[in-house]
Amino acid sequence: MTAMRVDASPGGCLRQPDRHASFIACCDQWILLSQWSGRWGKSTDKAFAEYIENLAMDWSEIRTKEWGETVLNILKRRMDGWIGGLQQDATKYIDELGVLTREAVHQYYLPLWLWHRLDGDRRKASDIPLKESKRGSPSLDVDHVVSVKFWETLAKSPKPESEEQSGAPQSDELSSKVNALGNCCLLEKTFNIAKSSEPLREFLERVHEFNTGQTKIEEWARNIGFDNKLLDATGKTVADVSISVDDRTMVMKNDLKEYIMGARQRADLSEP
């Protein structure tokens, strides 16, 4: 596909788009934002009616034009308008995104699907299928970085005096850290991290690409935003790991909000 030139201004899809790239970028953004903004939850019939009315207005203008580029500009103007009307609510959705239970982390599937594609190195790292052995077929699932059972072990460990004084996360607050966006990923793998008491590094050491040295664990983890505490929380405190989760959550949400505002594009769409 022809490389796309990004317009980083709010609501901008592409500057001087070719027909295919413009449609892919704008349509992709509109579909995601319309879901995150709750556009379809308010009134599907009303939403469709408004969109149809908008397109009818555009058609009345397009039918009088002779040049294809002029037509594309009219359609792009409409897409920019639609997307701009969704940005505020979609941003609010990402700001508030969070769950308290392991079963509910599937709600992160679409935001993670996008986030893993917003950076070229991250996308390439995410594309490595993580298989412990030749047996088993990898599946694409939302999973934890630091497992639920590992968090339980950390919570039961004796707390240092400094942590007791400052106050480590408790009950619902701890659940929000365990199941936060920053403690989740969307990877193709054969193992379920959440159900194990092992740190992520131990899984990875059994994966062929890492075991043979084809890919370095530290480099792979860095590209997906895992620091050393998330990669292996052994010997760390709940407070230590919570800080890493909070930091990663903030970075991830900022990336997603930049996409919402048109300042970031999917890396996989701009690849040749």
Tell me the β-bridge partners of 130. 189
The DSSP string of 90-101 is: HHHHHHH---SS
Mean pLDDT per block of 10 residues along the chain (272 residues) reads 34 48 75 89 71 78 72 80 92 96 94 96 93 78 93 75 51 86 94 86 90 92 95 92 96 97 87 59
CB 43 within 8 A of CB 102: no
Residue ranges covered by each domain of the chain? 19-95, 100-267
* The CA-based dihedral angle spanning residues 13, 18, 19, 22, taken in that order and rounded to the nearest 10 degrees: -10
Specify the amino acid at residue 7: D
Specify the amino acid at residue 226: F
Name the token pair of 65.
Answer: 């034009």
- What pLDDT does residue 76 have? 80
